Structure 1
Amino acid sequence: CLHCSGRCCSLSVLIPPTFIKKLMNVQEIWGSVVTMECKVAGSLPMSVEWTKGSRKITTSSKHKLSHVDNTVSLELKLAESGDTGEYSCKVMHLNLVSLWVLVPPSFVAEPEPQAVFPKSTVHFRSIFQGTPPFTVKWFKDDSELVTGPTCTLGLEKYSSTLELHSVGPLQDGIYSCQVSNEAGTVKSAAELLVKGVTILFFYGDNYKIMFADSTAYLQLRTTKFEDNGVYTCEAHNDAGSASCSTILTVQGQLLNGYLAFNPSIFLMLDLL
């Protein structure tokens, strides 16, 4: 551009804009504030335009545009997964940048508490969402579980399962599923109760009841001829009940007589 005044002339050379610091690809966590910045050389003034895909970005409550000296920047808060995409800054030149929004994991369906009978197969399942890939771990109380003779772990893209085989009282406890990705970690727990057995005797003031090692005992403290008769032991749990009986015949004076029942056979028949 040539400007003349009298005998003096001045020459202005317009330098086209060039990026001396280009935009860089960005990967940030959902909820954080991202600033994309580039530096431009060239003659002033310059016209700057930001776009996401084909949509022009303007200053708003979500987007803050800045142009100070030769520094051009775009600041935005990552509020949704839709913020992922290609952003471009145009100053008579196109410069592309990619932005990935990492969404931390959250549960869509959590493991549910369960109460089961001995020797049952137990299934826990969790469904989650977020940005893959995920790292999924299962725990019993504070111990991490791995696939083996007592349990099997399964993993699909957005769900995981834990199967416990032939559970017993030792499997009682808190089972938890932990899901992690680059943006965070979430954990959900559920209780497993393996139901036991309740033993019930019909007895009077002259009787003493004991129960040890799956064996129930009824002790007659002082026997008399009036104690002759049928004695019954009943075993109960949530699945039902079973009973067995025996006949006591007092001959002469029998002291400290014992009747012993082992209900495990009857319980096994009920549970199968």
Structure 2
Amino acid sequence: MNTMKILALPLLITVLHSPACLSVTVSSSKPKVEVHEHTDAVLACEFKTEKDPNPRIEWKKKGKGVTFVYFDRKFSGSYAGRAKIEGATLTIHSVTQKDSGEYRCEVTASEDHVNLGETSVSLNVLVPPHVPSCEVPGSVFAGSGLELLCKDKLSVPPATYRWYKDNKALTASADTPYSIDTHKGTLKFKSVSKADSGMYRCESSNSVGAPKSCVAQHLKVIEYQLSLTTLIAGAAGLFLLIFMCCLGVCLCRRRGCCKKEKKAKSSKSFSSPPPPPPPPTRNLKHYKQTQSFMI
């Protein structure tokens, strides 16, 4: 028995002097936090040191880079004036979607053998549905394909969508001429008909708040008879315009408008010939009489 006590004594001394017993420990009682927008978020951080009674506490936020939240006993950036710290626990007031992310609590105890400990806390800010943007064309030809779009980019968790026609919810099935994607917010028609005309609106919803809907927009399906009439009327108008232009040119030629212009151009292009040179004069100095005349 005494021998066992003698052997256990060095082992106990080794454990007491182990570096693991001389290090700071940091943990969080709630590593994942979900709160509604514009409420307070409490990011818990608990620590324990062996020797250092006043360790240094820092909070950082991970993202594309590392942003300081609490450093050198004060808050920085957008957290100044809207956050507080108690021990190592961080409280952020009136959180928004921009505050979502992963935070890291670091405790540095310079007197401990292992002087740095850290833990991570993720914050997810829940956002209720916003009024979605809806894309509904004013008119479309019968027989053509059609896709209506609806999107709410701000809600967290992501919204699901529902389409209404004339204030009646649409439910897709194998017999309906359309399909609905509740996650993407699309309403697709393979081939629209006159019966598909009406007032369309989309509603977004999630588990955080009340659903929101866009303003209903009117969709008009134009049948081919009307489109053919429109094309015929357009072709007739174009033909009439060309006919009037040709008639105006013919009348202008008959009245001589074009000939006058040609004469004016020809008179400008031809100039009068230069005058003939004067006849040569005789030089009397070099004249010699070669024959005398007698009367």
Partner of 2:217: 190
- Structure 1: distance between partners of 2:138 and 2:45: 56
TM-score by length of 1: 0.51
- Structure 1: distance between partners of 2:228 and 2:131: 33
Partner of 1:263: none
Match of 2:229 among 237, 240, 248: 240
Q: 2:128·2:206 contact (CA, 8 Å) conserved in 1? A: yes
| CA displacement 1:163-203 (0-9 Å, x = unmatched) | 2744235x44321122233445432232123469xxxxxxx
Pairwise CA distance, 1:34? 2.1
Q: Which has the larger radius of gyration?
A: 2
- Structure 2: distance between partners of 1:163 and 1:186: 24
| 2:151 is aligned with 1:135 | no
Partner of 2:84: 66
Pairwise CA distance, 1:108? 7.7
**3-state secondary structure, aligned to 2:193:** coil
- Structure 2: distance between partners of 1:95 and 1:37: 10
Match of 2:178 among 152, 159, 179: 152
Partner of 2:69: 57
Q: Which has the larger share of strand?
A: 1
**3-state secondary structure, aligned to 1:48:** strand
Residue 103 of structure 2 aligns with an amino acid whose one-letter code is Y
Partner of 2:200: 175
| 2:161 is aligned with 1:161 | no
Map 1:1-272; keep pairs closer than 5 Å. 22-40=29-47, 44-53=53-62, 54-58=66-70, 59-60=75-76, 62-63=78-79, 64-68=82-86, 70=87, 72-81=89-98, 83-92=99-108, 93-104=117-128, 109-116=133-140, 122-130=146-154, 131=156, 133-148=158-173, 149-155=175-181, 158-163=184-189, 165-169=191-195, 171-184=196-209, 185-188=211-214, 189-194=216-221, 237=226, 240=229
Q: 2:103·2:120 contact (CA, 8 Å) conserved in 1? A: yes
- Structure 2: distance between partners of 1:85 and 1:73: 14
Cα distance change, pair 101–72 in 1 and its aligned pair in 2 (3 A): closer
Contiguous gaps of at least 5 residues in structure 1: 1-14, 197-235, 242-272
Aligned-pair identity (%): 23
**3-state secondary structure, aligned to 1:27:** strand
* CA RMSD, Structure 1 to Structure 2 (Å): 4.0
Higher RCO (CA-CA < 8 Å; seq separation 6+): 2
Q: 1:23·1:95 contact (CA, 8 Å) conserved in 2? A: no
Q: 1:105·1:129 contact (CA, 8 Å) conserved in 2? A: no
- Structure 1: distance between partners of 2:131 and 2:85: 42
Q: 1:152·1:163 contact (CA, 8 Å) conserved in 2? A: yes
Q: 2:28·2:121 contact (CA, 8 Å) conserved in 1? A: no
**3-state secondary structure, aligned to 2:171:** coil
Cα distance change, pair 40–101 in 1 and its aligned pair in 2 (3 A): same
**3-state secondary structure, aligned to 1:91:** strand
**3-state secondary structure, aligned to 2:136:** coil
Residue 240 of structure 1 aligns with an amino acid whose one-letter code is T
